[in-house]
Amino acid sequence: MPLIQVDAPQGELDKLQQDALMSQLSNAVLRAEGAPLESAGAQSLVWAHFNGKPEGTFYVGGVSLEKPPFRIAVTTPQGALNDETRTRLVAEIGRIVDEVVGPYAERLNHWAMLYEVTDGGWAGAGQVFRLGDIQSVMDIKAA
């Protein structure tokens, strides 16, 4: 049950590139969690937001950047990832951003930030979802 939030410079990507980025990131996170990509349950639980930020709203060292890096924030339930899967996910995010956005000269083109929600801290529709419940819906076989 990942949540992906991408902050990007407004207008940096056209709609096809944005769709490709969000689809590829969604599938990367599902793979990292061990969910089969063909699972309708898994696909229904990977939510993603693309937030285009207006020019002049991103600063480094107090200076506004004309072409800011992308920020990819991935939130998962605690225990959904381990050190190995986090490392693979971050590498895949880097490959995807390089492919869709392209590298930036002499600096990073993105930040990837991984967050975890404490087990029992993910809820919706008036109920708490524990990791095992989420993995069951996503067709993830417990390790």
Q: Is the separation of the CB atoms in 119 and 77 below 8 Å?
A: yes
pTM here? 0.93
Q: Which domains are assigned to the chain?
A: 3-137 (3.30.429.10)
Collapse the DSSP code of 74 into the 3-class scheme (helix H, G, I; strand E, B; otherwise coil) and give the result.
strand
Query: Each residue of 15-53: pLDDT tens digit?
Result: 999 999 999 999 999 999 999 999 999 999 999 999 999
**Residue 84 burial (CB < 10 Å; 0-12/13-18/19+)?**
exposed
> What pLDDT score was predicted for residue 123?
92
- Supply the pLDDT for residue 132: 86
User: Which residues of the chain have a pLDDT value below 70?
Assistant: 143
pLDDT at 143 (0 to 100): 60
Q: What is the pLDDT of residue 66?
A: 84
Nearest-angstrom CA–CA distance, 53 and 7: 7
